[in-house]
């Protein structure tokens, strides 16, 4: 026991900046992987694989089990291939997140782009309010960095300017395209009648296939989806596998403004002027 403080001091003396950085980076990678798999069906498989690797390590420490050690060591390469198959959706999602960094760094916005985005947000919000009032079921998918071409091909290509009247027409109950999704990119309705992937996560009993499809596309891409319930008229916004319900036109417009409109020097200057005016003492 008397040697313990000296051993601790020796270990701390050997710790350098690079060793601390190494530990922090490895911890962040492990935390990121666990966060990526948490809440998915693959998390149970990951837990089982961890137990299997622990069993392999225990068996490997027993030199008398020669045949079992040989069998396990030869099965590990096939296990790595199985990992790629089991975690294919999660690995694809991780690669897509990494790939979005390039788009964020290279993309530049002009004043015209911002005006089009703001006009589109107003039209979408107004259309959702009118759809909600009429109890028209709707699913709108807003494309961002990740392309949705594979889902666009499942529907009818339109390439029309986003307007509330067009969206109401597409989701009219007697319309042949009202049951599937409308894909929007920038200020254009790209396609209608598109089939979306269904989420496997459990949902409330009041939510149907339309909500499951809206959630599923946000789990696989960075797209936003808006669902208007045909039974209740509730407006739900979904992003990154999460949802916010009971939105009205104003709340939806504000949320879309935060998620779709990037900051600009002009908007920052307007915010700074308002902020300074609020702090200016009255004369």
Residue 275 has pLDDT above 60, yes or no: no
Strand 181-185 to 242-247 pairing: unpaired
The pLDDT tens digits of the residues spanning 15-28 come to 777 878 888 888 88
Total Cβ atoms within 10 A of residue 1: 4
Q: How do the residues of the chain divide into helix, strand and coil, expressed in percent and rounded to 5?
A: 60, 15, 30
The pLDDT tens digits of the residues spanning 217-248 come to 998 888 999 999 999 999 999 998 899 999 99
Cα–Cα dist 231/51, whole Å: 46
Cα–Cα distances in angstroms (integers) from residue 141 to residues 15, 100, 193, 210, 225, in the given order: 51, 18, 11, 11, 4
The more confidently predicted of residues 164 and 51 is 164
Q: Which helix (H) or strand (E) holds 237?
A: strand 235-239
Prediction pTM value: 0.62
Beta strands (DSSP E) in 188-232 are: 188-194, 224-228
Q: What is the mean pLDDT of the chain?
A: 79
Q: Between the CA atoms of 196, 230, 256 and 247, what dihedral angle is there, to the nearest 10 degrees?
A: -140
Fold (topology level) of 111-261? YojJ-like (1 (3.40.1700)
Give backbone dihedrals phi and psi of 174, rounded to 5 degrees, phi first.
-90, 0
Mean pLDDT, range 69-76, rounded to an integer = 75
Cα–Cα dist 25/14, whole Å: 19
Tokens 């960094």 sit on residue: 101
List the structure tokens of 263: 């900051």
The residue ranges of every structural domain in the chain are 4-103, 111-261
DSSP string, the chain: -TTHHHHHHHHHHH--HHHHHHHHHHHHHHHHHHHHHTTSTHHHHHHHHHHHHHHHHHHHT-TT-HHHHHHHHHHHHHHHHHHHHHTHHHHHHHHHHHHHHHHHHH----HHHHHHHHHHHHHHHHHHHHHHHHT--EEEEEE-SS--HHHHTTSEEEEEE--HHHHHHHTSTTSTTTTSEEEEETTEEEEEEE--PPP-S---TT--HHHHHHHHHHHHSS-EEEEE-TTT--EEEEETTEEEEEE-HHHHHHHHHHHH----HHHHHHHHHHHHHHHSPP-
Residue 112 banded pLDDT, cuts 50, 70, 90: very low
The pLDDT tens digits of the residues spanning 149-175 come to 889 989 999 999 999 999 999 999 988
Closest CA to 97 of 185, 222, 197: 222
């Amino acid at each position: 026991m008397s040697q313990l403080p000296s051993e601790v001091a020796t270990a701390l003396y050997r710790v350098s900046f690079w060793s601390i950085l190494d530990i922090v980076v490895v911890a962040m990678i492990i935390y990121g992987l666990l966060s990526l798999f948490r809440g998915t069906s693959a998390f149970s498989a990951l837990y089982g694989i961890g137990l299997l690797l622990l069993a392999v390590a225990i068996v490997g420490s027993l030199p008398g089990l020669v045949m079992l050690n040989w069998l396990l060591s030869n099965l590990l390469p096939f296990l790595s291939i199985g990992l790629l198959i089991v975690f294919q959706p999660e690995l694809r999602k991780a690669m897509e997140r990494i790939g979005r960094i390039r788009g964020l760094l290279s993309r530049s916005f002009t004043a015209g782009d911002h005006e089009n985005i703001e006009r589109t947000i107003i039209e979408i919000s107004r259309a959702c309010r009118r759809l909600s009032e009429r109890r028209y079921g709707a699913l709108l998918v807003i494309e961002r960095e990740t392309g949705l071409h594979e889902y666009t091909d499942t529907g009818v290509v339109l390439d029309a300017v986003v307007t509330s009247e067009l969206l109401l027409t597409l989701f009219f109950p007697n319309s042949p395209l009202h049951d599937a999704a409308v894909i929007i990119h920038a200020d254009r309705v790209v396609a209608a009648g598109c089939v979306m992937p269904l989420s496997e996560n459990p949902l409330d009993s009041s939510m149907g296939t339309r909500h499951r499809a809206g959630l599923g596309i946000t789990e696989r891409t960075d797209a936003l989806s808006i669902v208007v319930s045909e039974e209740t008229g509730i407006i739900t916004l979904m992003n990154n596998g999460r949802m916010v319900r009971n939105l009205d036109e104003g709340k939806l417009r504000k949320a879309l403004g935060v998620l779709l409109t990037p900051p600009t020097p002009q908007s920052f200057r307007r915010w700074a002027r308002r902020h300074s005016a609020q702090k200016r003492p009255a004369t």
